[in-house]
Structure 1
């Protein structure tokens, strides 16, 4: 199986060239100094592949990417994470919460800038791939880029009340719900393209094979349909996901998992506690085997709690979605219909799953099945609880807290302020939220 590093080396010259041309800035213009040269590079399948592979690098491979900053920002404001060193000012702001979080926060700036960079580059690939003669290769480029574009839009919509509608100068803003709808449209276009022209094997051999394109598109559609309140679509898309297939971001010794890099330093953050920041009716059961999956004790003379799971090793994969997330989407949609018996059936698939039966990641609660009768609210409370545990440090919890009507007092921010560079360069930037 090819790694991102190995594939990237194939296109290193193309990426280096395009990096010079597609320069990022605080503005979302990403203008290059030589439009003609860029047009030549983007007119070839090799050049477009270089940009497409670059999307994954921008998303996941360092502390400026969407992956790390989403996990960190979400983790602090939802009490998943404990700050270890108050000298880390951006993390301190988020850990403190409230008005301490402002437009100077570099975690939020990195998340915002990287997400917009991905949207910009994805648009380049999608628009120029459609012009290629090899439609099967073009289909792969469009589908692969659409995944990262949808992830970028979706992440911004989870954290900000409004999201830029495009990446041009003074881009207008749309509501977060409209942004989720836009992400769904991006994914719909990818599916339509694939249906018309199946992805070629030539394309699949040139990109990281760990991203299962078809399943990921359906999984993300299920996620963003759920977030936007389109429950019938969420259920349809969740049912379309093959839960035996993995889709993740792969790392190796030369391109390490950034979460591992941060956690291993033991100087930035770790899990808040062995209950993953949950308490009351949401606290994990003592026998829940997902707790030792996500946490462990290490150190001397006094051992301290450390993050494990998808931050355990340099090479630990980071799932784009978990099978458990898809099952819990089904459970939630059924509970809200309400179809409580079938919702409980789906929920129990997560509750009773053993680590050994999860052949992809080894993640399982291994608890007795929930039995008896539950009200709709009781079942929704249980679904929320198991989402918090199953999807720990995934960057999704704050969205869940809003959707399940958790008290504002249980989180340190509800939405984020807009980064100052955006406000300084875009007169359409909305007012910051009060909390």
Structure 2
């Protein structure tokens, strides 16, 4: 993030303090501080809150981004725990009943995502009243990205998700959670279609995120996860695959993968050079995505998007969007296997030079013919490689009917802090 955005971070901390004070019986007021109304009724205050959403999601230790990558990776055998003293990571590796509501990594995803949804709603709802509709459109679109990401994280890891924020909330199914993310995105797309985002707003937020392409990319992702293949295909076709959309880092806001794992070699690392894949899903010999994502320094270490302090992390990969198209074609009511194979081959044959992030397998073209199931099996294999450490594999394993024995949990128990304070918390899954 650019240092010039730091003036807005104070609003984030102020708003966080105000939020938490509401949940407490005792109230401590600073008569010299701005009130919540001051923050939520000004463009400057709302900008501070939405910049804080990005910081909380992608940089703050422990961020939702880092926690979700760790939770997903240890559960699906992408990653291993390096230090047996790291109890929470070790219990995720053990899986099953060893993972309970006390696990702090679970808690970081749950609490962080719900807090982001709460703050994003405040931005979205209050920005609509601002007189500068173009600036307001930027606020709404930017906040909607992080609300959608937070809803997506909750829906991937839990069977049911909160229907709203507040006290004693009800729960809805995870599919409804994905559809809530899509509805949030649709609202943002409609707002910016009516009032294009002003350049003044773009200059007041961290660089890196391509807002329009990101909205369409996330819509395609969550439509796919919700089983709406026609919508997934339409949204994926709206994404410009030549563009990058990234979380950016600087001396004050470090890449969390590098800061926590790579630099210390004391928390998580890739399981092996096969990225934890076995059997027919082992990467092909010569697949150049392996040296992109991994390096060997006595043991297998993180490379790719966790290699450096300031390395950008993609919000989504262009390769993900192409693989969404391949899967949507294969799964639609009347499967289009020819188009599915065409999209899959774009990933299989892609070279680093033709990818915005320098990620390419550079393998020979697949020739087929393939049945629908054979194509889906190949799409799953290449999603596991192309999207390594993206935090998406657990949903893939369920969607592609991978054996339960290949993952440590299917869904997660609800954190104790939720169960202890909300009588509507659903029963925990058995696995």
- The interval holding the TM-score normalised by the smaller chain is over 0.9
Find out whether 1:351 has 2:348 as its counterpart.
yes
For 1:430, the equivalent position in structure 2 comes to 426
TM-score (norm 2): 0.96
How many angstroms apart in 1 are the aligned matches of 2:4 and 2:217? 25
Matches for 1:108-147 after TM superposition, within 5 Å: 108-147=106-145
How many angstroms apart in 2 are the aligned matches of 1:213 and 1:169? 32
Matches for 1:72-87 after TM superposition, within 5 Å: 72-87=70-85
1:322 counterpart (304, 317, 321): 317
How many angstroms apart in 1 are the aligned matches of 2:196 and 2:10? 28
Matches for 1:25-44 after TM superposition, within 5 Å: 37-44=35-42
| Deviation of the 1:372 alpha carbon | 2.6
SS in 1 for 2:389: coil
| Deviation of the 1:40 alpha carbon | 1.5
| Deviation of the 1:21 alpha carbon | 1.9
Find out whether 1:312 has 2:336 as its counterpart.
no
| Deviation of the 1:6 alpha carbon | 1.4
Size of the alignment, in residue pairs? 425
For 2:277, the equivalent position in structure 1 comes to 278
Check conservation: 1:423, 1:429, Cα contact below 8 A: yes
Check conservation: 1:82, 1:270, Cα contact below 8 A: yes
Query: RMSD value over aligned CA atoms?
Result: 1.7
CA-to-aligned-CA distance 1:172-213 (integer Å, 9 cap, x gap): 111000111111000000011111111111111111221100
| Deviation of the 1:14 alpha carbon | 2.8
Check conservation: 1:63, 1:69, Cα contact below 8 A: no
How many angstroms apart in 2 are the aligned matches of 1:349 and 1:58? 34
Find out whether 1:18 has 2:15 as its counterpart.
yes
For 1:393, the equivalent position in structure 2 comes to 389
| Deviation of the 1:74 alpha carbon | 0.3
Give 5+ residue unaligned stretches, structure 2: none
Matches for 1:47-62 after TM superposition, within 5 Å: 47-62=45-60
| Deviation of the 1:28 alpha carbon | 11
How many angstroms apart in 2 are the aligned matches of 1:21 and 1:102? 30
TM-score (norm 1): 0.95
2:368 counterpart (356, 368, 372): 372
* Dislocated runs of 4+, deviation >3 Å: 31-36
For 1:214, the equivalent position in structure 2 comes to 212
Matches for 1:173-212 after TM superposition, within 5 Å: 173-212=171-210
| Deviation of the 1:64 alpha carbon | 2.1
Give 5+ residue unaligned stretches, structure 1: none
Q: 1:342 to 1:221 in 2, by over 3 A?
A: same
Find out whether 1:287 has 2:283 as its counterpart.
no
For 1:415, the equivalent position in structure 2 comes to 411
Q: 1:32 to 1:387 in 2, by over 3 A?
A: farther
